[in-house]
Structure 1
Amino acid sequence: MNQILAAFIFFTRLPFWKIKSVPDECFKHVVSYWSFSGWLTGGIMAICFWGISQILPVPIAVIAALTVRLLITGALHEDGLADFFDGFGGGRDRESTLRIMKDSHIGTYGVLGLIIYYLLGYQLLSSINPSYTPFILLCCDSFCKFVCSHILWLLPYARKEEESKAKVIYSRQNYKEETASAIGGLLPLVFMSHSFFITLPVPILVFIYIQHLLRKRLGGYTGDCCGASFLICELSMWFSIAIVSGLIR
Structure 2
Amino acid sequence: MRLLVRELACFFAAVRFFTRLPVPAWVGHSAELLDAAPRYFPAVGLVVGGIGAAVFWLAALVWPQPVAVLLSMAATLYATGAFHEDGLSDMADGFGGGWTRERILEIMKDSRVGSYGVTALILALAGKATLLSLLPAAWVPAALVAGHAVSRFCSGALMALLDYVRGDGAAGGNGASKARPVAARMSPAALALAGLFAAAGLGLWCLLAPPLPLLPALALALLATAWLVRLMRRNLGGYTGDCLGAVQQASELAFYLGLLARWPAV
Q: TM-score range by the shorter chain?
A: over 0.9
Query: Aligned pair 1:74/2:86, yes or no?
Result: no
The corresponding residue for 1:175 is 188
CA contact (8 A) 1:214 1:221 kept: yes
CA displacement at 1:29 relative to structure 2: 2.7
The corresponding residue for 1:52 is 59
1:200-219, aligned counterparts within 5 Å? 200-219=218-237
The corresponding residue for 1:131 is 138
CA–CA separation in structure 1 for the residues paired with 2:152 and 2:120? 20
Moved more, 193-202 or 110-119: 193-202
User: How much is the aligned-residue C-alpha RMSD, in angstroms?
Assistant: 1.7
CA contact (8 A) 1:45 1:68 kept: yes
Report Cα offsets for 1:145-172 as digits up to 9, x if no partner: 1122111111111115676472414322
CA–CA separation in structure 2 for the residues paired with 1:220 and 1:231? 18
Residue segments in structure 2 that go unaligned for 5+ positions in a row: 1-7
CA contact (8 A) 2:20 2:80 kept: yes
Residue type at the aligned position of 1:66: M
Query: Aligned pair 1:184/2:191, yes or no?
Result: no
Residue type at the aligned position of 2:263: S
Moved more, 171-180 or 61-70: 171-180
CA displacement at 1:2 relative to structure 2: 2.1
Change (3 A) 1:165 1:174: closer
CA contact (8 A) 1:38 1:145 kept: yes
Report Cα offsets for 1:87-120 as digits up to 9, x if no partner: 0111111000000000011111111111111111
Residue type at the aligned position of 2:135: I
CA displacement at 1:67 relative to structure 2: 0.7
Report Cα offsets for 1:62-102 as digits up to 9, x if no partner: 10111111100111001101101110111111000000000
Change (3 A) 1:165 1:242: farther
Change (3 A) 1:172 1:17: farther
Moved more, 149-158 or 224-233: 149-158
Query: Aligned pair 1:239/2:251, yes or no?
Result: no
TM-score normalised by length of structure 1: 0.94
Q: Which of 76, 83, 94 matches 2:90? A: 83
CA–CA separation in structure 1 for the residues paired with 2:187 and 2:177? 24
Matched residue SS, 2:178: coil
CA–CA separation in structure 2 for the residues paired with 1:165 and 1:226? 16
Query: Aligned pair 1:166/2:166, yes or no?
Result: no
CA contact (8 A) 1:48 1:64 kept: yes
Residue type at the aligned position of 1:166: K
Report Cα offsets for 1:153-200 as digits up to 9, x if no partner: 111111156764724143222233122111111112112131222121
The corresponding residue for 1:142 is 149
Report Cα offsets for 1:206-233 as digits up to 9, x if no partner: 1111101100001100000000101001
Residue type at the aligned position of 1:220: G
CA contact (8 A) 2:87 2:241 kept: yes
CA–CA separation in structure 2 for the residues paired with 1:123 and 1:166? 34
CA–CA separation in structure 2 for the residues paired with 1:48 and 1:19? 29
CA contact (8 A) 1:9 1:17 kept: no
CA–CA separation in structure 1 for the residues paired with 2:76 and 2:131? 17
CA contact (8 A) 1:29 1:171 kept: no
Identity of aligned residues (%): 32
Report Cα offsets for 1:23-57 as digits up to 9, x if no partner: 22221232221000011100100111111011111
* Number of equivalent positions: 248
TM-score normalised by length of structure 2: 0.88
Residue type at the aligned position of 1:197: L
Moved more, 14-23 or 38-47: 14-23
